[in-house]
Structure formats: structure tokens, C-alpha cells
């Protein structure tokens, strides 16, 4: 990956005039105090971004759970190394019919993030929704481009169906799936893949898609939120394309449904109910809204939330932003409803 020397403009990075006055004041103040003078991810080598510490500042604390265990899953259908997962189990006695379970995929543009990245979200879901949470540590690009992350995501579900339900004392009738950003992309794809392999992959009670990437063909020329929020902080259009090109180096694959789940042609009427949360000032807003609309047209129950004044990373900033805390609460409530 070469040296860790920056490859583009240097900090500081003041908020762009096109978005500055639209941002929630709490986010704007935090950005100006803690973020604007930090090197931006897409303007330095990947290796530097992976070793620079916290992916997104402003996160809240992890909550205590009963136990946290890491496992390595042997593959069943695809090639590659064992797939690491982290399993969060609630405190207390398991229900007589087994724990409900949530499979979670972290964000980071398929390039950044790891098993540690979204432990705050995972422990909140585990403790507050009284369910086991399985976080999947899928392989990252550019070393492992598409479809490595899709394959790893699927392998976790194959293990869950064949082994995990029994090993972890889970209830196979109460299974949820979800993720944020790139992880929301993977979760949406897994819901479609479950339709194709019902004997191998669990069926899901609910899908939680937080600021999901659903259309890797989107651009400032074709998509409203890309044009409106081209220079939004945290995920400007240029940075999203940086992620995309690392993960999908072959442009011909950008429109494949397993890269862009919005472009699946069928199966919408058989999807699980959904919570979709998007940021008003996120380049990804329009494709999240379009995904929710496709689900609705298929007859699926959808709860779409648009978080006002928010750029992309509000979920991971729950220590600072009420919108981040609210989003976790929406996720907890969706799980409780699905598992009731």
C-alpha cells in the first residue's frame, strides 16, 4: 500500500458552504472542534486510515452483556479463510424456546472497520432487545474486493442455520439481520439470497438497514441526494467513490444486484419487514429511500426514518448526537416487535 504519506489536500477541512447551514448545530459544533483538522480517510493510504485509531469519533459507551465470545467459522460453500464472528449474549436465563438472534454487519465502506467497530450498537441491541447479536468480521477491500464480503456474509448465515442455532441455544423462528452503511448493503443482499436458498439460510423476521448503500451505480449526475450532498462532511461523493473503487474495481460489476441490491428484479414481495434509517444530508439518502419504496411496493411493512440535519455517520456518534441514540432505540424497538 506504499507509504502512509497523505495523498491529497491537507487539513483543515472547513465545512462546505453548500451544506454548512443545513447541518444540525450539535453535529456542526462537534465537527468544528474535533474533526475538521483531522486527515480525511480518502486523502491518505488505506493503511494509514486503518491504524489511525477510532473510525468515527463521538461514539457512546458499550453496555454490559452476559458474555462476549469470538469464533472462527469454517466455510461451507465459498473459498477463503475462516470467517471471524463475535457473539454477544444477554445477561440472565435464556428463554425456554431459545434466544432470539440478530446478525449484524458493520460499516466502513467495505474497506475499513472490523470486529471492534460497532460494539456499542451490538451491545445496545443485545442488552435492550434481549437477543444474541452476531457481528460478522467480513474481509475488506482492496486486498479482498467484491464479492469477498458477500461470500463471508453468506457463510455466517450458512453456519447459523447448520450449527449456530444449536451451539448458541437460539430460536430459529426469531432471526433478524441488519447493518450500517456497507453493512446495510450486505444485510439487504443476504435477505435476497435467503429467498434463493431457503433450506440453507435462515428466514428473517426483520431487516434493519441503517444508512445503507443500495445502488453502487449512483452518482451526482443521476441521484438527487448525491447532487445535493456532494460536499457533505464525513461521506462526500468523492469519498464514497473512493470506497466503491476499492471494493468494486471492475466498473462492470457496479450494477450487479449483489453489489447494488436496489437493482434486484424480483423477490420484493417476499422480503422481511424493514426499518430503514437515512440521513437527510447523506449522499446515500436517495438510494435508501428508493429501497424502502421498492419494499413498500412489494407489500412489505417498512418504517422509514429520515434524520434531519444529519450527514452519514450519526449512528456511530450516539455519544454526541441524539439522532444516533434515537436510531439505536428505533433498532431496539424493531427487534422487540419482531421477536414478540
Active site residues: 181, 282, 312
Q: Is 93 exposed, middle or buried (0-12, 13-18, 19+ CB in 10 A)?
A: exposed
Alpha helices by DSSP H, the chain: 17-20, 25-34, 46-50, 119-129, 148-159, 165-167, 182-196, 224-228, 237-247, 285-297, 322-339
CA 274 to chain centre: 14
What is the number of alpha carbons within 13 Å of residue 329 lying toward its C-beta? 7
- Cell numbers placing 284: 446515500
105-138 burial: b if 16+ Cβ within 10 Å, else e: bbbbbbbbbbbebbbbbbbbbbbbbbbbbbbbbb
**3-state percent breakdown (helix, strand, coil) of the chain, nearest 5:** 40, 15, 45
- Got the DSSP string for 260-308? -GGG--S-GGGPPEEEEEEETT-TTHHHHHHHHHHHHHTT--EEEEEET
Distance CA 60, CA 62 (A): 7
12 upstream amide cis, omega within 30 of 0: yes
274 contacts 303 by C-beta, under 8 angstroms: yes
Residues 138, 185: Cα–Cα separation, whole Å: 13
C-alpha 66 chain-centroid distance: 24
Amino acid at each position: 500500500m506504499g507509504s502512509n504519506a497523505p495523498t491529497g489536500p491537507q487539513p483543515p477541512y472547513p465545512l462546505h458552504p453548500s451544506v454548512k447551514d443545513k447541518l444540525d448545530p450539535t453535529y456542526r459544533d462537534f465537527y468544528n472542534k474535533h474533526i475538521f483538522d483531522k486527515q480525511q480517510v480518502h486523502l491518505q493510504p488505506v493503511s494509514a486510515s486503518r491504524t489511525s485509531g477510532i473510525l468515527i469519533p463521538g461514539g457512546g459507551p458499550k453496555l454490559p452483556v452476559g458474555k462476549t465470545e469470538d469464533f472462527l467459522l469454517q466455510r461451507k460453500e465459498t473459498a477463503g479463510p475462516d470467517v471471524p464472528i463475535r457473539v454477544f449474549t444477554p445477561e440472565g436465563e435464556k428463554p425456554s424456546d431459545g434466544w432470539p438472534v440478530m446478525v449484524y454487519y458493520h460499516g466502513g465502506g467495505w474497506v475499513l472497520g472490523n470486529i471492534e467497530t460497532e460494539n456499542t450498537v451490538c451491545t445496545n441491541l443485545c442488552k435492550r432487545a434481549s437477543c444474541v447479536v452476531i457481528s460478522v468480521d467480513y474481509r475488506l477491500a482492496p486486498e479482498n474486493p467484491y464479492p469477498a464480503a458477500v461470500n463471508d456474509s453468506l457463510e455466517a448465515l450458512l453456519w447459523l442455520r447448520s450449527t449456530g442455532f444449536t451451539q448458541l441455544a437460539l430460536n430459529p423462528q426469531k432471526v433478524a439481520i441488519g447493518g450500517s452503511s456497507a453493512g446495510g448493503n450486505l444485510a439487504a443482499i443476504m435477505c435476497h439470497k435467503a429467498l434463493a436458498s431457503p433450506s440453507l439460510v435462515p428466514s428473517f423476521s426483520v431487516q434493519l438497514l441503517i444508512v445503507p448503500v443500495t445502488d453502487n451505480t449512483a452518482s451526482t449526475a443521476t441521484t438527487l441526494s448525491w447532487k445535493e450532498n456532494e460536499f457533505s462532511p464525513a461521506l462526500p461523493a468523492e469519498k464514497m467513490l473512493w470506497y466503491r473503487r476499492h471494493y468494486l474495481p471492475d466498473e462492470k460489476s457496479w450494477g450487479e444486484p449483489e453489489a447494488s441490491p436496489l437493482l434486484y428484479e424480483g423477490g420484493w414481495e417476499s422480503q422481511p419487514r424493514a426499518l430503514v434509517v437515512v440521513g437527510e444530508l447523506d449522499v446515500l439518502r436517495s438510494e435508501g429511500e428508493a429501497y424502502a419504496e421498492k419494499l413498500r411496493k412489494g407489500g412489505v411493512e417498512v418504517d422509514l426514518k429520515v434524520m434531519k440535519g444529519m450527514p452519514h455517520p450519526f449512528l456511530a456518534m450516539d455519544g454526541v448526537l441524539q439522532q444516533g441514540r434515537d436510531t439505536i432505540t428505533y433498532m431496539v424497538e424493531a427487534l422487540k416487535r419482531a421477536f414478540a
